[in-house]
C-alpha cells in the first residue's frame, strides 16, 4: 500500500518540478483553463443561448471538436498494432505515449460532451442503475459506454505499465497483452460508434451515408499520430528517450496511406453527390461552393482540402518524409486539414440547410471559443502531466525507492519471460 502512496507522491513531485519552459507551458495551460472556467460559468448562468447554436443548427462547435478528438483518441491504435501485433521494436518502446495521448484526447471528448449538454446535472440519467439508458437503440448511449470503456482500458494499461516499470519489475504479459489487444477493437469501436451516431440519422442526408464510418477511421488514422510525431522529436531532445528515426518515419508513412484512403473516400462521396445531383446535393454544395450568398464555410473547406493534399504528398515522398522540416510541416497541415474536415466541416453542412430548407449561418461565439480553449487546455495539461511522469519512468530516472532484495531496474517496456 505504501508503495502506491510513494508512487503517487513521486508523481506529484515529477509534475511540480521542471524547467522554465515546462513551468511557462503549464502556466499557459492553466490560464486557458481559467478562461474556459469563466466562459463556462457564463454559459451555466445564461444557458446554451450563450453559444450561437439555435434550433436550426443545434450541434456545432463543441460537437465538432468532440468528433475530431474521438479520432485522435482512436489513433493510438496506429501505434499499438505495429508495436504489439507485429512486435516492431522501434515503436514498442514508445507505444505507451500513444496511449497517454488517447487518454488526454478522451478526457477532452468527455469534457466537450459535458459542456454541450443542456442539463449536465442529469448526466447520471444515461448510466445504468442510476438512470435509464436507451439500449440498444441509442448510439449516444453506446458512445457513452465505449468511450468510458476505452478510457478505463487505457488508464489500466498505462498505470499498470508505468507502476510496474517504476517498481523495477517487468510487466506480466498475461495481463498486459490481452488488454493491449483489447484496446484495438475498443478504439475502432469508439470511432465507429461515433460515426454511426451521425450516419444513422435519416433526417440529415449529408450524414446518412454508409461511407461515413470508413471515412472516420481513415481521417482518424491520418491525424492523430501527427501529435506523436512532433512529440517524439521534442522528447528525444529534452530527455534521454531513445526514439529511432525509423519509428517516426514509419508512423508518417502509415499516415500517408491513411490520408490516401481518406481522400479517395472523399472523392467517392463527391462523385455520388454531384453526379446523381438529387436534392441532397444542397448540403455538399453549401460546404464547397455555398448556396446563394451563404458562403461562410467555403474558404475553410478548400483550405482544409489543400492542407490534406499537401500533407499527403509530403508524407508520401520519402525524401520529404525524412526531412524534419517538411515532416513537421506535414504534421501541422494534416492536423489543420482534418480538424476542419471532421469538426465544423462535418457538423455544419449536416445541419445546413435545416430540415425545412432554411439556412442559418453559424459562427462560434466568444463564449464557445473560451470554453473550447479551456477544454483543450485541460486535455493538453493532462497529456503534459502524464508525459512528465511517464518519460522519467521509461528512461529510468523515476523509480521506487530501493528496497532490500529488489532486482535491478528493468528496461522500460519489456515483458516478463
Other CB atoms within 10 Å distance of the CB of residue 384: 18
CB 96 within 8 A of CB 76: no
Let me know: does 177 contact 84? Beta carbons within 8 Å.
yes
* Residue (of 414, 88, 411, 71) closest to 249 by Cα position: 88
Among 296, 275, 213, 225, which residue's Cα sits nearest to residue 255? Answer: 225
Binding segment (CB under 8 A) for another protein, from list 64-72, 125-133, 311-319, 326-334: 125-133
From 8-16, 84-92, 263-271, 306-314, span contacting another protein (CB under 8 A):
8-16
Query: Is 9 an interacting residue with respect to another protein (CB under 8 A)?
Result: yes
With respect to another protein, which residue has the nearer C-beta, 332 or 415? 415
Asked if 153 touches another protein (CB under 8 A), the answer is: no
**Within 254-283, which residues bind another protein (CB under 8 A)?**
279, 282
Binding residue (CB under 8 A) for another protein from 64, 98, 337, 392: 392
Binding of another protein at residue 399 (CB under 8 A)? yes
* 57-76 binders of another protein (CB under 8 A): 57-59
If the CB atoms of residues 214 and 396 are measured against another protein, the closer one turns out to be 396
Site for another protein in 290-329 (CB under 8 A): none
Candidates 163, 354, 369, 410; binder of another protein (CB under 8 A) is 354
What letter does residue 122 receive in the DSSP assignment? Answer: G
Interface segment toward another protein; rule CB under 8 A; list 12-20, 86-94, 218-226, 371-379: 12-20
Phi and psi based region of residue 362 (left: phi greater than 0; alpha: psi -120 to 50; beta: remaining): beta
Query: Among residue numbers 370 through 389, which ones bind another protein (CB under 8 A)?
Result: none
Cα–Cα dist 34/354, whole Å:
35
Task: Tell me, by CB under 8 A, how many residues bind another protein.
Answer: 77
Answer yes or no whether residue 17 interacts with another protein by CB under 8 A.
yes
- Provide the 10 A C-beta neighbour count for residue 355: 11
C-alpha torsion sign, points 284, 289, 290, 291: negative
DSSP string, 240-269: -----HHHHHHHHHHHHHHHHHHHHHHHHH
Binding mask 205-244 for another protein (x = CB under 8 A): ----------------------------------------
> Based on CB atoms, which residue is closest to another protein, 49 or 317?
49
3 state DSSP class of 57: strand
Which residues 6+ apart lie within 8 Å of 281 measured at CB? 273, 274
Q: Mask 188-207, x = binds another protein (CB under 8 A)?
A: ---------x--xxxxx---
Amino acid at each position: 500500500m505504501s508503495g502506491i502512496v510513494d508512487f503517487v507522491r513521486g508523481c506529484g513531485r515529477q509534475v511540480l518540478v521542471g524547467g522554465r519552459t515546462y513551468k511557462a507551458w503549464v502556466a499557459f495551460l492553466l490560464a486557458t483553463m481559467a478562461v474556459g472556467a469563466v466562459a463556462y460559468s457564463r454559459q451555466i448562468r445564461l444557458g446554451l443561448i450563450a453559444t450561437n447554436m439555435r434550433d436550426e443548427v443545434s450541434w456545432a462547435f463543441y460537437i465538432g471538436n468532440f468528433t475530431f478528438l474521438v479520432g485522435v483518441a482512436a489513433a493510438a491504435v496506429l501505434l499499438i498494432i505495429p508495436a504489439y501485433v507485429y512486435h516492431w521494436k522501434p515503436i514498442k518502446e514508445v507505444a505507451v505515449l500513444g496511449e497517454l495521448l488517447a487518454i488526454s484526447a478522451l478526457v477532452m471528448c468527455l469534457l466537450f460532451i459535458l459542456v454541450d449538454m443542456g442539463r449536465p446535472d442529469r448526466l447520471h440519467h444515461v448510466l445504468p442503475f442510476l438512470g435509464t439508458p436507451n439500449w440498444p437503440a441509442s448510439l449516444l448511449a453506446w458512445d457513452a459506454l465505449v468511450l468510458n470503456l476505452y478510457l478505463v482500458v487505457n488508464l489500466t494499461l498505462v498505470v499498470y505499465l508505468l507502476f510496474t516499470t517504476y517498481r523495477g519489475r517487468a510487466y506480466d504479459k498475461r495481463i498486459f497483452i490481452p488488454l493491449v489487444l483489447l484496446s484495438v477493437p475498443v478504439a475502432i469501436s469508439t470511432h465507429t460508434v461515433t460515426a454511426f451516431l451521425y450516419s444513422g440519422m435519416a433526417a440529415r442526408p449529408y450524414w446518412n451515408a454508409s461511407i461515413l464510418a470508413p471515412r472516420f477511421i481513415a481521417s482518424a488514422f491520418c491525424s492523430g499520430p501527427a501529435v506523436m510525431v512532433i512529440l517524439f522529436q521534442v522528447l528525444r531532445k529534452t530527455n534521454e528517450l531513445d526514439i529511432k528515426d525509423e519509428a517516426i518515419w514509419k508512423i508518417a508513412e502509415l499516415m500517408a496511406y491513411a490520408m490516401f484512403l481518406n481522400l479517395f473516400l472523399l472523392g467517392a462521396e463527391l462523385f455520388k453527390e454531384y453526379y446523381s445531383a438529387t436534392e441532397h446535393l444542397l448540403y455538399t454544395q453549401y460546404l464547397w461552393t455555398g448556396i446563394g450568398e451563404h458562403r461562410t464555410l467555403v474558404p475553410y473547406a478548400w483550405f482544409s482540402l489543400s492542407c490534406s493534399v499537401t500533407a499527403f504528398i509530403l508524407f508520401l515522398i520519402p525524401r520529404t518524409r525524412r526531412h524534419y522540416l517538411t515532416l513537421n510541416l506535414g504534421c501541422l497541415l494534416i492536423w489543420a486539414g482534418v480538424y476542419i474536415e471532421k469538426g465544423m466541416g462535418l457538423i455544419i453542412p449536416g445541419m445546413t440547410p435545416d430540415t425545412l430548407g432554411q439556412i442559418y449561418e453559424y459562427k462560434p461565439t466568444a463564449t464557445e471559443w473560451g470554453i473550447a480553449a479551456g477544454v483543450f487546455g485541460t486535455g493538453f495539461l493532462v497529456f503534459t502531466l502524464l508525459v512528465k511522469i511517464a518519460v522519467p519512468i521509461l528512461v529510468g530516472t523515476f523509480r521506487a525507492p530501493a528496497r532490500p532484495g529488489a532486482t535491478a531496474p528493468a528496461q522500460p517496456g519489456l515483458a516478463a519471460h
